Amino acid sequence: MFERPPDPPIIGIVRRETRRAVTPMPDSATSPQAAVTVRLVYLARLRDAFGASGESFAVAGDPPTVATLLAALRARGGAWSEELAGGRAVRVAVNHELVPAASVLAHGDEVALLPPVTGG
Amino acid sequence: MTVRVQTADFDVAREIAALRAGDARVGAVASFIGTVRDVNDAVAVSTMTLEHYPGMTEKSLEAIVAEARARFDILDALVIHRVGALQPTDQIVLVAVTSAHRGDAFDACRFVMDYLKTRAPFWKKEATADGARWVDARVSDDAAAARWERDAQGPESGQAT
């Protein structure tokens, strides 16, 4: 019998290790070497406000985080600065998990911006 | 433990019968059914459209049911949430829980609904005489979910602040 190595701790590792291979995206004009390209998803009210259901976006920052992403989107002005202003209750999900603003983003992440939920 | 997101209506009697079928340990079934009202914030509503975030929705409902199972002594649970265009009086959501005794069944059913209201990625858009509007989240929903918090770890992370 082979000695089976102990399972790695689950928390914080699954998301990175299960990520599928990502086709490289063309570098955005705004991206320094640290930028990663993520797939943004806009839901419900935010989709209406931004006039799109999502886009591919190069997030800069060292490291690129949810916070640097939101700051870059806010810098577009208009509906972006309005909807993503501090105090507006927008949550962020990375690959279907709610994450805090300090979360580091990786190439190919699906990053969804969620207004407050109203189901039930 | 079953979670379904669907456009079709559901038959409560059939769903509950299936949930407790053949399980003689069950002594209590608690259920909640949410339905569409024709008035919200004093404005008449003709159609309510429910949208969700496929992929995350199922995952979050499963996590809520798993949390209920960890907290309460329940035997099984079912969550059905409809999406798409609904009319006043239509059924929106069913939560049903089986347990040996009523206390855990009642508590788990309420817990699942309270968490669903604040954590599952569903959004309602109402059609009114003045046009369509996204329904605002209610502070009372956050308060209802917060009652169940055992620690400070909540859904507040990831705010755009």
ipTM of predicted assembly, 2 dp? 0.85
Kind and range of the H or E element at B75?
strand B74-82
Q: What is the pLDDT of residue B40?
A: 86
d(CA B101, CA A24): 56
Domain total in chain A? 1
pLDDT score of B150: 61
Q: Is the pLDDT of residue A103 over 80?
A: yes
Q: Is it the case that residue A5 has pLDDT exceeding 60?
A: no
- CB-based contact, B119 to chain A, within 8 Å: yes
> Is residue A90, in this structure, part of any structural domain at all?
yes
Answer whether B132 touches A (CB < 8 Å): no
Nearest CA in chain B to A70: B160
Q: Which chain A residue shows the shortest CA-CA distance from B135?
A: A118
Mean pLDDT (chain B, rounded): 92
| A19 domain-assigned | no
Is A40 a domain residue? yes
Least confident interval from A9-18, A43-52, A85-94: A9-18
Q: Of the candidates B134, B158, B161, which has its C-beta nearest A99's C-beta?
A: B158
Domains delineated in chain B: 2-143 (3.90.1170.40)
Q: What is the pTM of this model?
A: 0.81
Q: What digits encode the pLDDT tens for the residues B127-143?
A: 999 999 999 888 888 88
Mean of the pLDDT values across residues B89-118? 98
Tell me, what CATH number does A109's domain have? Answer: 3.10.20.30
Instruction: State how beta strands B2-6 and B74-82 pair.
Output: parallel
On whether any CB of chain A is under 8 Å from the CB of B86, the answer is no
User: What's residue B109's pLDDT?
Assistant: 98
**Any domain includes A57:** yes
HEC per residue, B4-41: EEECCCCCHHHHHHHHHCCCCCCCEEEEEEEECCCEEC
Establish if B160 touches chain A: CB-CB under 8 angstroms: yes
Q: Which bin fits B125, alpha (ψ -120 to 50), beta or left (φ > 0)? A: beta
| Band (A33; pLDDT cuts 50, 70, 90) | low
Residue of chain A nearest B94, judged by CA positions = A120
Cβ of residue A90 closer than 8 Å to a chain B Cβ: yes
Q: How confident is the model at residue A17 (pLDDT cuts 50, 70, 90)?
A: very low
Position A21 in a domain: no
pLDDT over threshold 70, residue B13: yes
| Residue A61, domain extent | 33-114
Which of the pair, A8 or A40, is modelled with greater confidence?
Answer: A40
Closest-CA residue of A relative to B112 is A120
How confident is the model at residue A28, as a pLDDT?
46
Pick the more confident residue, A18 or A119.
Answer: A119
Question: What pLDDT is stored for residue A73 in this prediction?
Answer: 97
In a domain, residue A78? The reply is: yes
Residue A73's φ and ψ, nearest 5 degrees, are -70, -40
Coil, helix or strand at residue B44: strand
* Residue B108 pLDDT greater than 70, yes or no: yes
Assess A85–B contact: CB distance below 8 Å, yes or no: yes
- Per DSSP, helices labelled H in chain B are 12-20, 56-71, 102-119, 139-146
User: Which residue in the set A41, A70, A118 is minimally distant from B122, CB to CB?
Assistant: A118
pLDDT in tens, B20-51: 999 999 999 999 999 999 988 888 999 999 99
CA distance A12 to chain B (A): 16
Q: Which is nearest to A30 in space by CA: A1, A54, A68, A58?
A: A58
pLDDT digits (tens, 9 = 90+) for A54-92: 999 999 999 999 999 999 999 999 999 999 998 778 999
Res A86: pLDDT: 82
pLDDT at A88: 79
B24 CA: distance to closest CA in chain A (Å): 30
